[in-house]
Structure 1
Amino acid sequence: MGKMFAPERRKLIMDMLNERQRITIKDLSTEINVSEATLRTDLTKLEEDGLLKRTHGGAMLTDHLDSEISFSTREGKNKDEKTAIAKKAIEFISNGQCIMLDASSTALELARILADKNIKLTVVTSGIKTALELNEHPDITVILLGGIVKRGSHSLEGSLGINILNQIHIDLMFTSANGFSLDSGLTDFSVYEVELKKAMVNASNKVIALLDHTKINKNSIASFASIDQIDSIITDGEITEDFAQKLKDVNITITQVNPEND
């Protein structure tokens, strides 16, 4: 295997972890032909980003990335912040639009609010729980993208649902992410889910990121939306003037919410 840059190595490490749940530095060194010292640096960085947990001689997926419990864990985390962000997101939606919701817990909060609104919409989603939340609304047509059901996550992944996106005009996509940075845009830890989210982003006229404060200035393993594909960010995070100006320079509008005043 040829020489790889750090992001390529770390993506490969996460691919292997997602497949095996745990890996050793010795095995990694043999399989990808990289020194153990370099791999220790990679694992330390990935642990700092919350993507894995270092163990003696290797690493394992952290509990919140374990597919058996990941969604229930994420759904309960920063609940007030996600609700406040979702309530603000409603203001971006107009009657008669076609919107896209990913399978994130923040998008699910938005769906729950929409379920009680007197509004006519078409909603395209990769989230099973999101689709069920809106299914009984008399004026909301729900389109659930096809794909492989990700165990424990209530989401669909893979490329099986991509073709239908070529037949639908999407006004707005609302998406969350594991991380957002100016260098990498929106990133996630599931390389399989990322492929579907890339297609969802490409099919949408505008992309609005719903990001609680834990996601800002954080990178995950794979990017699904670059800076120039993001139109707006809604967050409860603290935004410095410098960071806000950098977002403005790349034509991203930012809206801040305060959960305490919600």
Structure 2
Amino acid sequence: MLSHTRKNKILELLKTYKQISTQKLEKELDVSGATIRNDLAQLEEQGLIERIHGGAVLPDKDEVDSFRNFHKRSEKNIEEKKAIGKLAKDYIKSGQTIILDASSTILYLIPYLSNCEKLTVLTNGIYTALEVKNEEDFNVILLGGIVRPKSGSVEGLIGSCMLDDISADLMITSSHGFNVNNGLTDFNFYEVELKKKMVSKSSKLIALVDHTKIGHTSAAQFAKTSDIDLLITDSGIEEDDVKKIKEAGIDIIVGK
């Protein structure tokens, strides 16, 4: 069983039982205690569980929902996201095929797309598609798959298969975390697999990452540092982080 599949199974079991022992997880998932403890440590780091003696429990429900609820995330760091979206528009050209992820940051880019003509836009974002479809000469493709409660994204193998014959000029994405060692990371293991495929089908990758996510690592990687052509962030970023990003070979633009 793959690591991300196993961690999602742990979360599903916790949702059912509210509290679960390490021994039960070992039996349910047929893995060693060391593997379970490592998984629990990573899930706790992301705020998705709380470890207790001999097992784990779910944390406060509101805290977990703050990670997963799209509308809550879209209300955070609004001015920073607006500044980032305004800068990102300059890298999108008429006639291109672009991939947009389901992040709340992307919503602040969409108003600027009206300056382009004849874009083909592929996205797994439900709200992204609803916003961008209003442009009459855009070809908007919503990738198929599973829609989960309180999520603004579509996930799963159907969307991945739809990308098989696609060659995109550009992917624009955000993430839950970024650092130069681990690249772009996110907390939704199923969506991460789809975003990996999106990255592989794009000629260029632009990351829109506000300063609160710089230096952090989430549960799973979907893009290596070497995959990123340009990172756009806001003025809250530390100078030391700017230096590290440049030294890693990534072009960076800082909004005001």
What TM-score do the two structures reach when normalised by structure 2? 0.83
Partner of 1:50: 47
Q: Which amino acid aligns with 1:99?
A: I
Partner of 1:106: 105
Partner of 1:5: none
Secondary structure of 1:74's aligned partner: helix
Separation (CA, whole Å) in 1 of partners of 2:191 and 2:19: 22
Q: Which amino acid aligns with 2:110?
A: A
Structure 1 unmatched runs, 5+: 2-7
Report the Cα offset of residue 43 of structure 1: 4.8
Partner of 2:96: 97
| 1:1-262 matches, cutoff 5 A | 12-13=6-7, 15-18=9-12, 20-21=14-15, 22-26=18-22, 27-28=24-25, 31=28, 32-34=31-33, 39=37, 43=40, 46-53=43-50, 58-60=56-58, 63=62, 65-66=64-65, 70-114=69-113, 116-117=114-115, 119-236=117-234, 237-241=236-240, 243-258=241-256
Size of the aligned set, in residue pairs, is 248
Separation (CA, whole Å) in 1 of partners of 2:26 and 2:172: 40
What TM-score do the two structures reach when normalised by structure 1? 0.81
Q: CA RMSD in A?
A: 3.0
In structure 2, relative to structure 1, the CA distance for the partners of 1:15 and 1:213 (3 Å cut) is: farther
In structure 2, relative to structure 1, the CA distance for the partners of 1:256 and 1:43 (3 Å cut) is: same
Contact 2:10-2:25 within 8 A present in 1 as well = no
Separation (CA, whole Å) in 1 of partners of 2:216 and 2:164: 31
Report the Cα offset of residue 98 of structure 1: 1.3
Q: Identity over aligned residues, as a percent?
A: 46
> Which portions of structure 1, spanning 4 or more consecutive aligned residues, are displaced by more than 6 angstroms?
none
1:153-208 CA distances to partner (integer Å, 9 max, x unpaired)?
Answer: 12100111223323232111111111112222111111111111111010000111
In structure 2, relative to structure 1, the CA distance for the partners of 1:11 and 1:240 (3 Å cut) is: farther
Report the Cα offset of residue 18 of structure 1: 4.5
Separation (CA, whole Å) in 1 of partners of 2:69 and 2:63: 5
Secondary structure of 2:83's aligned partner: helix
Separation (CA, whole Å) in 1 of partners of 2:188 and 2:12: 8
